Each structure stands twice: as C-alpha cells, then as structure tokens.
Structure 1
Amino acid sequence: MEETILSRRGFLAGLGLGGVVGAGVVLGLTRAGEGFQSLATLAGGATLPAPTRYYLPAVDGSDSGLVIPVTFEFAEGEGELFVNLNEIEVRHDLQLALREAITTATRLTDSSLGNTATHVTFDPPTSGVLALRGKSWEAGLTVALVASLRRQSLTPETLITGIVDDEGALLPVGEIETKARAARAVDAQALIIPAGEPTEVAVQGLRIVRERSISEALDRIL
C-alpha cells in the first residue's frame, strides 16, 4: 500500500492518471470559499445530477475517529473533476477510491458524466491540515454519487464504510469500531459495514448493519 502523503499538486497529478470519466479528463482544484454556479440543466435540456452532501467515517493519522462531510455539485462541462481538499492531505489509495466510486456509480445508474463538470468538496471538522488514508471511503463516495445521479436525497442517519470491488461486492476494511464511534458521535443511527468484516462491533445507540454488496447498501440507504 502506498504510504506517501501527497500534496495538493500530487493529488492533481495522481487523480488525473487513468481517466476518471473517460479519455481526456481534466482535473482541477478549487480554493475554499471560491464556489461556482451550478446550472439546472445541460445544453440541450439534459438534467444535471443533483447536489449531494454525505458523511464519511474516517480515521486520521493519529488513529482517531472522525466523520468528514463531502459535497458533490455539478455544472455543464466536458468530464472535468474539480476537488476542493480544504486542508486535507490524501494518499494514493484515497485518490483511487474517488476514481473507482465514479466508475461504479455511473455503471449502477447507467449514466455518464462526460458532459458534466463534477465538483467535490471535503470539509474537515477540525482546524489545521488533516492527513487521511485508506480506501474505506469508496462505498460512501459511491452512495453519494448514486444519490446525485438518481436525484435522490441523503441523510446522515445511515453511514457506510467499505471498499467496492469490480463486481460491486463490499470488501472488509480496518478500524471498524473507531469509525462506528465516530459515526455515533455525529448522531448516525446506523453504520453499514461489509458482511465479511471479521470485527464484532457494538456501540451504544448505533445499529451495525452488514451488507454483501453496494447495491444492497443502496437499497437500505436510498
């Protein structure tokens, strides 16, 4: 596993490799507070995906649990992906999670983002630079993107952690109890984890739900 923390410039270069939404993808970074105007429809009348905000259980560099808000917004474009890191440093595996979440979400919804500019904003709940690692955000990013593409609403009541493979199965991730406690701390009522997760977790006030696939998880969340 890649252990090198990337700078914002590294995130820009790394995430652009391999094409996030097809050949010729352009990736950019936006400054905090810069914002952009989201259009209601694309040229020709096609409807844009809906803006979506969701919450991702995480573990920081000091092994503390926290929940990171992520927002997806969309405008007319040519497949660009703009990421506002907001003082978050990321590793290669987290970049890969975002790439693969887009691939999975568009496949599950039979959609394309080729005529859309996607803006992703991560909001750390603490001040200072926050270093994060791991692909366990992949399931949550996929849920948020599917909600946008289906134009369905999301709430923070049910959160999810897990890796999504090429067939849509949810694969186990680490530090489940830490993430579960972080989810409960922001008043989540349930946390979906992969069915094959070996860790037994019990957090007062939080239901732990095991699902085998991202499709099953989506049926429960949306």
Structure 2
Amino acid sequence: MHDNKDEVARRVRIAARALGRAGLVHAYGHCSARTGTESFLVCPSMPMALTPVGATCKSVPVHGDLPEGVLGEVRLHQQIYARHLQAGGVVRFMGPNMMALAALGRVPQPRHGFGCYFQPGVGLWDDPQLIRDDSRAVGAIDAMGQGRALLMRGNGAVVWGESIEAATVLAWYLEDMCRIELVALQTGLADTAPIIPEAEAETRATRAGRIIERMWDHMTAGDPELATS
C-alpha cells in the first residue's frame, strides 16, 4: 500500500485523465486508489478527462457514510475494498462496447488474450437503476463474486486491480473483451466460436514482461503530472 496520500492522489488524477482520453468515461465515471486498510482516495466529482493538475482527491472510509460531495456510486468502491484486501484500485467506467453488451444483459467470454485476465468470469448485475444506496451496492458486488469485473445492465461496469494502474489497464482490457464479444454476436458465431479454457486463460493472464506497465505507459503518455514522477 502507498502511505503518501499526495502521491496516491497524483496517480488517481493521472488515471482519471487517461480513462477520459481512452474514451472509457465521459461526463460520468470515477476511479480510486487505496491508502490503507480503512480508506481510499477518489477522483474529483467531475468529468474525468477535465481533472485539473493538483486537484483534491477526497478521502473516503471503506466502512461508513460517504463524505459530502462524493458521488453515490462510490459505494461500489467501498464494497470492493472491504471484501478484497488485495484491491488497490477501482474504476467505474462506461466504454461504448461494454455499455452495448451490458444493455443486452450479456457478459463477455474469454475469447482473446485480454479476456483472460477476468477469471473466474465477469459478473452481471441485472438492474439498470443507479447504485446510490448501500443495499444495491452490496447486491451488485455480490454479483461480481470472486472476479475482478462487473457489468451492470444499462449502467456501465466496475473493475478492480492490485493498484490504480492495474485497475485502469483492466478497464481497457474489459472494453476490448466486450468488443470481441459483440463481434461474435454480430457475426452469429457467439455460440460456436472458441472460448479459452480456464487453465489456458490462467496461463495467458501473465503479468510478466511489464504487461500492465506498458499499457499504463501507453494510456498515460503526455499527461501533465507525469513530469513529477
């Protein structure tokens, strides 16, 4: 875990802008990074691509009420951090391919390399309402199970990783996984196209070779706060 909150906040802001540039968020969406077992920092409540350099990231308790000014669906982050002590970052996003697949009430299957990083599978929360109360947040993350990703029908997705960098990259991976699934559906091959078996998927989901780091570098290239690294 990172104890320097200024450094954690900088990384959260960089992630927010990267997600915006990648088209994974627009006016809506949020990301966060853990600062300890009982707290995390969330990006400002504004369009993420517009996050200013040095903007304040609010501290949120893992357990308890949301601070004033923090978006209601940050309850999803609370549930993830409470259940997964290894979770260091969370991203709530609305990529176009993922939104289309979620609206169909479908989850993507591991058909290509990026899809292998979500074993034992992507969860589905079959409710289009915004998650702005604790009971819905609990139900949604229950539906995620032991996986790292959840599609919410008509309402986007949430992913978590060991760090804010990993969570940001996994958001990109999930969007691409949904793109492949939509192609399978559009071609009529969804029922016959190959799915990568669990054992093969676990082997393919390597973190060696700076897999996460290289995609993070790609997504954050040119960010104004990288110069302070």
Check whether TM > 0.5.
no
Higher strand content, 1 or 2: 1
TM-score by length of 1: 0.29
TM-score by length of 2: 0.28
Higher helix content, 1 or 2: 2
